[in-house]
Structure 1
Amino acid sequence: MVQPPFFISVIITTYNQPAWLERVLVGYNHQNFKDFEVVIADDGSSDETIKLIERYKKIVSYPIQHIWHTDEGFRKCTILNKAIIASKGNYLLLTDGDCIPRADFLEVHAKYAEKGYFLSGGMYRTTLDVAHKIQLEDISTQRCFDIDYMRSLGQPRRFFKDLKLSLKYPKLKNFLNSITPANASWNGHNSSGWKEDIVKINGFNEKMKYGGLDRELGERLFNLGIKSKQIRYSAICVHLEHKRGYVTAENWKNNYAIRKKTRREKLQWIEEGISTHL
């Protein structure tokens, strides 16, 4: 258990998905843990998203920072680095604007936060059809985290993935966290760590486009000597499925080469990162 002072900056990436972002902001308004801010890392969204954020600043109980830059193509790493600079917390949780947090989401991250570690959480991915059926009331009542309710919306059965929503016993969650074959990597949808560690490695590598950019940051944290904890079955968010028009084979190839170099040379610091904006 961490000791105060402990303040979380939740950094949420978004790009022209205001309907999904609204559901996420509502999710954070129902958190058990209250010592946090939200920093929206906006990769150039249009006025519709900007107006939504301004409206929700007056609705929710937590502070919101909106970090925006012009739309010049996929520049997620750049806007994330700008958001990290703007963040006020000493602990950062990074997630996406299509991931609705369960009420205990921040509480779990705060519980397991420990110096020398980052946390690797999980998600429950909906189908595209079910994503459109989830309403704001489903979030405020937490129905969208009930497996039977999700099934009534048309979500198919997927046994181990369903356990993320259906499990009620902490010991069983911890057991599954310990035996899952999934790596405890830095995942863009649900990971957290100390700001000072992320700053030490200069944040995200701005040479990277879509495809493994989050894991590359985690690999440099490993090279720094930071370890990871698996909380895949404990810290849960519902991922609203959507189309991805920004995925290219060329970007995957480029990013894989960067990650391979990071691992081979045990790199901690990259040049095109946070320091570019200071």
Structure 2
Amino acid sequence: MDMKTFSKSSLIISTYNWPEALRLCLLSVLEQSVLPDEVIVADDGSTGQTADVIEAMRPLFPVRLIHVWQEDNGFQLSKIRNKAIAMSSCDYIIQIDGDLILHRHFIKDHLTLSKRGSFVAGSRVLMTKELSEKMLDRRQARVTPFQSGLGNFTNRFSVAWLSRYMADRYKTHDIYALRGCNMAFWREDLLRVNGYNEVFHGWGREDNEIAVRLLNSGVRKRAAKFGGVVFHIYHPEVDRARCPKNEAYLTEALLNKTVYCREGVHQYLAHVEPVGLAEREFAL
């Protein structure tokens, strides 16, 4: 497939107060065989250390590196992702978390899988605490699939023909077979359903709920299997106290066949700065 035929892509990276991991993530972006057209760091209230990492790395990036920040008011991932989506200037949005190291063909794989009328859900490879600490200490952003300290064996490999074969065959109707740390969408589809639902606070289910609304709107789910590979840097599990309430919001969307949420991305679209100013940091 000719890469020149693809629409422009934004890579949105969500982060919160882990600048060391974000540095590795950004370094792995620079290693990509195909770069995104812009990179947007969606920052849910980190301290100035995260901004310092972004500023230090900005001269290394041949594409725009944008920092979208909001005040720390608890876990508000849906809100900061919406602000980043509003800031995006590209047709296709690839979404990850800042605690991932990307396989060098990650962006290329996602662009290959992109198809109008669908969104893509990928998986991840877990790294042990020991391997994660070693890579953070060495600022090493390249992972080889057979090195020790990796789990999820079949998720480690990028195989283009197998990825294309699996895309419409692997759990395409399972809303639980996805992770918000590795997804991709057409921006127009996100705007149609009003992006992420900001009633979600705390960890969990905001990614499943947006998938439900996209499916209800007629957008199909495709899988990034044997493609779109990411390696997850170890950290302790986050607080899941809000998960039962978030589960209830997900159940409501399923039962009501919801398409559009009330508190979503459209509230930010009128406040987006012109693209020419995108190299600055923004607090929306």
Q: Distance in 1 between matches of 2:260 and 2:178?
A: 16
**Which residue in the other structure is 1:32 paired with?**
33
Answer yes or no: is the 8 Å Cα contact 1:41–1:79 preserved in 2.
yes
Q: Distance in 2 between matches of 1:22 and 1:216?
A: 30
Confirm whether residue 106 of structure 1 aligns to residue 112 of structure 2: no
Q: Distance in 1 between matches of 2:24 and 2:225?
A: 22
Displacement of 1:217? 0.6
**Which residue in the other structure is 1:237 paired with?**
230
**Which residue in the other structure is 1:53 paired with?**
54
**Structure 1 residue identity aligned to 2:67:** H
Q: Distance in 2 between matches of 1:110 and 1:179?
A: 18
The 3-state SS of whatever aligns with 1:38 is strand
The 3-state SS of whatever aligns with 1:33 is coil
Residues 269/178 of structure 1: CA separation in 2 closer, same or farther (3 Å cut):
closer
RMSD: 2.2
Q: Which of 193, 196, 201 is the matching residue for 1:204?
A: 196
Answer yes or no: is the 8 Å Cα contact 1:31–1:105 preserved in 2.
yes
**Which residue in the other structure is 2:126 paired with?**
125
Q: Distance in 2 between matches of 1:199 and 1:168?
A: 30
Confirm whether residue 260 of structure 1 aligns to residue 251 of structure 2: yes
Answer yes or no: is the 8 Å Cα contact 1:186–1:217 preserved in 2.
no
Residues 265/162 of structure 1: CA separation in 2 closer, same or farther (3 Å cut):
same
**Structure 1 residue identity aligned to 2:12:** I
Residues 125/133 of structure 1: CA separation in 2 closer, same or farther (3 Å cut):
same
**Which residue in the other structure is 1:272 paired with?**
263
Displacement of 1:69? 0.9
Displacement of 1:106? 0.5
Confirm whether residue 215 of structure 1 aligns to residue 214 of structure 2: no
Answer yes or no: is the 8 Å Cα contact 2:14–2:44 preserved in 1.
yes
Q: Distance in 2 between matches of 1:200 and 1:178?
A: 23
Answer yes or no: is the 8 Å Cα contact 1:201–1:269 preserved in 2.
yes
**Which residue in the other structure is 1:247 paired with?**
240
**Structure 1 residue identity aligned to 2:187:** K
Q: Distance in 2 between matches of 1:266 and 1:181?
A: 20
Task: Give the TM-score normalised by the residue count of structure 1.
Answer: 0.87
Q: Distance in 2 between matches of 1:173 and 1:9?
A: 21
Q: Distance in 2 between matches of 1:201 and 1:171?
A: 32
Task: Give the TM-score normalised by the residue count of structure 2.
Answer: 0.86
Answer yes or no: is the 8 Å Cα contact 1:122–1:233 preserved in 2.
no
**Structure 2 residue identity aligned to 1:145:** T
Q: Distance in 2 between matches of 1:273 and 1:34?
A: 28
The 3-state SS of whatever aligns with 1:134 is helix
**Which residue in the other structure is 1:146 paired with?**
145
5 Å matches for 1:58-137?
Answer: 58-135=59-136
**Structure 2 residue identity aligned to 1:256:** E
Residues 69/27 of structure 1: CA separation in 2 closer, same or farther (3 Å cut):
same
Answer yes or no: is the 8 Å Cα contact 1:145–1:238 preserved in 2.
no
The 3-state SS of whatever aligns with 1:271 is coil
Q: Which runs of 5+ in 2 are unaligned?
A: 271-284
**Structure 2 residue identity aligned to 1:203:** G
Residues 179/197 of structure 1: CA separation in 2 closer, same or farther (3 Å cut):
closer
1:200-250: CA deviation from partner (whole Å, max 9, x where unpaired)? 1001111112111111111100000000111122110101011234321xx
The 3-state SS of whatever aligns with 1:74 is coil
Q: Which runs of 5+ in 1 are unaligned?
A: none
